[in-house]
Amino acid sequence: MRVTGGELRGLVLRSPKGSGTRPMSDRLKLALFSMLAARDQPRGRVLDLYAGTGALGIEALSRGAERADFVEQSAAACAVIRENLARAGLSEVAAVHRMSVRSFLSRPPEAPYDLVLADPPYADPEIASVVEMAGERGFLSPGGVLVLGHTSRREFGERLGQLRLTKKRCHGDSCVSFYELVEE
């Protein structure tokens, strides 16, 4: 697995041992960041939920984001994220939070994020409610975007709480759905 673009393009990232982490494919990651570039993203603050290897947040930093927070429950995965950040020279502009995504989103954010990346386990039954929580608790800035990685076999609504689906792309069984705050 590599960083696919930006200043760190080509940097090889480590993965935790075992099958507990399913990194997004390079093909889908390239498509995702091409779609984000059309929206002048990534920029500002980035939140990488279910961070796994940290690949999505590191990609965002490589492509211009200023700061990233990584949320991951697994101690082994957090150690790999820290190692990947150190290898990339990004430790000073990143923080790794070892906790569940729901616990992290239960706290008030320091400031809203311009980009929220969520690539949860495909079988997680709480995905929709967690995405809604991110929108309702002030984690997404006005004009920001939340990107949800998911299987093509799972449909999510046009609205998830205060978030509205604006775009969806699939490559094989893997999809990314883009959500923005609804302006009311």
Q: What is the DSSP string of 21-72?
A: --PPPHHHHHHHHHHHHTTT-S-SEEEEET-TTSHHHHHHHHTT-SEEEEEE
Amino acid, single-letter form, for residue 123:
A
Question: Over the stretch 72-104, which tens digit does the pLDDT of each residue have?
Answer: 999 999 999 999 999 999 999 999 999 999 999
Token duo for residue 17: 């041992």
Question: Over the stretch 148-164, which tens digit does the pLDDT of each residue have?
Answer: 999 988 888 899 999 99
Integer Cα distance of 135 and 140 in angstroms: 6
Quick one: pLDDT at residue 21? 62
What are the boundaries of each domain within the chain?
43-181
Q: Quick one: DSSP state of residue 12?
A: B
Q: Quick one: DSSP state of residue 6?
A: S
Quick one: pLDDT at residue 184? 61
Integer Cα distance of 51 and 169 in angstroms: 21
Quick one: pLDDT at residue 141? 94
pLDDT at 19 over 70: no
Integer Cα distance of 59 and 95 in angstroms: 15
Token duo for residue 111: 């400031």
Question: For residue 84, how many C-alpha atoms fall within 13 Å in the half-sphere facing its CB?
Answer: 31
pTM, entire model: 0.93
Query: What is the CATH T-level fold of the domain 43-181, as seen in this structure?
Result: Rossmann fold (3.40.50)
Question: Over the stretch 28-51, which tens digit does the pLDDT of each residue have?
Answer: 888 899 999 988 889 999 999 999
The three-state secondary structure class of 113 is strand
Quick one: pLDDT at residue 57? 97
Quick one: pLDDT at residue 104? 97
Beta strands in the chain (DSSP E): 45-49, 67-72, 94-98, 113-118, 140-151, 159-160, 163-171, 174-181
Quick one: pLDDT at residue 155? 85
